[in-house]
Structure 1
Amino acid sequence: MQELYLMRHGETIFNKRQLVQGAVDSPLTKDGIAKAKRVGQFFQKQGVTFDHAYTSTQERASDTLEVVTKQPYTRLKGLKEWDFGLFEAQDERLLPKFNFKDPAEADFFVDYGGESAKQVMERVNQTISKIMAKPDHQRVLIVSHGAAILMFLAAWLPFEEIAKQITDMPNCCVLRFTYDNDRFTYQGLFDVDQSANN
């Protein structure tokens, strides 16, 4: 059975300023870099090594991966964050509170030049599925983005179940999945800061 470690990128300047960050990019903060280092140290301490590593083409994700591990990696556009159209770089409070299960609401950003929930889900799920179907991919690390990861989860879990199991998805958290017979099974979320406090 194969393992997928799906990590959210480290904190960025836009995260700290609570600005919408989808297709646009911003640099990692000092705290973001420090937490990514702690994740890398945790993997080393636990003896967790990866056959392959992947990241989205956005710098905040590839920069995070380079802090976590020094191994070679591949950048893929299919792992990029949701494109929020005209809402990019705007205050997060402008984002609508909507129900992703309602098709009309899930298409909200399309009218503003962005992607629909379905587009993001299909793009990310297809990309990750292709990665895990490759030979010699027994344990894989992927660094992606909050909304993109949520949409990947939604391809395999009902939103009601996601809401029960995940109350927060902080920067640098790692979601673990097993992959067997072309199916992903969610195993849990790890946050190195929470672990350190327990």
Structure 2
Amino acid sequence: MKKRLLAMALATVMLFGLAACSTTSSSSGGTSTPASGSTPVDSSTPEDSSTPEETGSEAVELWIVRHGETLFNVKGFAQGWSDAPLTDNGVASSGYVGAGLKDAGITFDAAYTSDMTRCIETSGYLLDAMGSSLTATPDARFREMNFGIYEGTPSSELREAYPNIYEWQTFEGFEGGEDWLTFIARIEDGLTEIGEANAGTGGKVLVTAHGFVQAALMFDLAEDFVPSSDALPNNGVMVVEYKDGALTLKSAPDRSYLDKGMELAGVEPSSAAH
């Protein structure tokens, strides 16, 4: 009897001991198995809380070239949106300015032009002389100023009718044409769009345009600009920089690339049209 009681007591102790071991094992954090649907955390890779470095846009150089000499330039007529053809001299000088740019090591990543024939032709001769495979994309925003009812009339009549033509901030505009502020807005809208399109890589962009396009940019971006034939020569080159939404004048129109191209061709620079 005593032996039976002792055996029963021993069995009870062993039973409680096994239950205690089972409970301890299931509650241990080091040996537990995640419940179904839970996501284990990998503590071997620390969470990256750093912020990616921001990079600003690249500066874009807009090389704005005035078209070559036209028939209306020779006759002294206001051409504006009238589309007078290049003269033989205008054709040649457009090639010379391209040669001058090439000699200086200038290359363009893109090319645009006013949609007027004189500019399209100028850009073609210029790019050919540079050995470039680019073809300029026409854009009406780079057209010359609209002279309204004075299109195709002698420039002297236009200046007589509008003696305040160069008071760009207050000029009321030509009858049937444009004022300076409207004109500047459409030009700079086009340049800004081109700048944004190329801001990822930067580089140089050719824009072939007109004398008053260059004058408009000089009025807006420079100080104390006085327009003249010497200040705005045919095939003159100016450079405007675009960066982070802003246009900045880098160099005023000049004919140094034209003169260099003529020198390379053995032609006297003084024979080029102004």
TM-score of the superposed pair, with normalisation by structure 2: 0.65
Question: Can you give the 5+ residue segments of structure 1 that lack an aligned partner in the other structure?
Answer: none
8 A Cα contact 1:125 1:155, kept in partner: no
Residue identity matched to 2:149: L
8 A Cα contact 2:119 2:208, kept in partner: yes
- Where does 1:87-102 land on structure 2 (aligned, <5 Å)? 87-96=150-159, 97-98=163-164, 99-101=166-168
Aligned to 2:241: 178
Percent sequence identity is: 26
Q: Per-residue deviation at 1:176?
A: 1.4
* TM superposition outliers: structure 1 runs of 4+ over 4 Å: 193-198
Question: Can you give the 5+ residue segments of structure 2 that lack an aligned partner in the other structure?
Answer: 1-58, 129-133, 264-268
Count of paired positions? 191
In 2, distance between residues paired with 1:102 and 1:152?
A: 13
Aligned to 2:186: 123
In 2, distance between residues paired with 1:124 and 1:76?
A: 10
Deviations 1:137-160 (A, max 9, x none): 5210000011122112323224x1
In 1, distance between residues paired with 2:230 and 2:70?
A: 21
Q: Per-residue deviation at 1:84?
A: 0.3
Residue identity matched to 2:205: V
Out of 38, 46, 49, the residue aligned to residue 104 of structure 2 is 46
In 1, distance between residues paired with 2:73 and 2:168?
A: 26
> CA, structure 1 residues 25+93, in 2 after alignment: closer, same or farther (shift >3 Å)?
same
Aligned to 2:91: 33
Residue identity matched to 2:126: V
Out of 53, 77, 95, the residue aligned to residue 140 of structure 2 is 77
In 2, distance between residues paired with 1:74 and 1:193?
A: 23
Out of 57, 61, 64, the residue aligned to residue 119 of structure 2 is 61
In 1, distance between residues paired with 2:169 and 2:239?
A: 27
> CA, structure 1 residues 20+124, in 2 after alignment: closer, same or farther (shift >3 Å)?
same
Deviations 1:92-140 (A, max 9, x none): 101233142452xx1130xx21111111010111111111111345210
> CA, structure 1 residues 187+167, in 2 after alignment: closer, same or farther (shift >3 Å)?
farther
> CA, structure 1 residues 73+137, in 2 after alignment: closer, same or farther (shift >3 Å)?
farther
In the alignment, is residue 155 of structure 1 matched against residue 214 of structure 2? no
Out of 141, 146, 150, the residue aligned to residue 206 of structure 2 is 141
Superposed CA RMSD: 2.1
8 A Cα contact 2:79 2:152, kept in partner: yes
Larger radius of gyration: 2
Deviations 1:165-198 (A, max 9, x none): x952110000012222222222223303555569
Could you say what secondary structure the match of 1:25 adopts? coil
Aligned to 1:108: 173
Residue identity matched to 2:191: I
Could you say what secondary structure the match of 1:95 adopts? helix
Range with greater deviation from structure 2 (187-196 or 19-28): 187-196
Could you say what secondary structure the match of 2:97 adopts? helix
Residue identity matched to 2:226: A
Could you say what secondary structure the match of 2:96 adopts? helix
Out of 190, 193, 196, the residue aligned to residue 254 of structure 2 is 190
In 2, distance between residues paired with 1:137 and 1:95?
A: 40
Out of 49, 59, 62, the residue aligned to residue 4 of structure 1 is 62
Residue identity matched to 2:107: T
TM-score of the superposed pair, with normalisation by structure 1: 0.88
Bigger strand share = 1
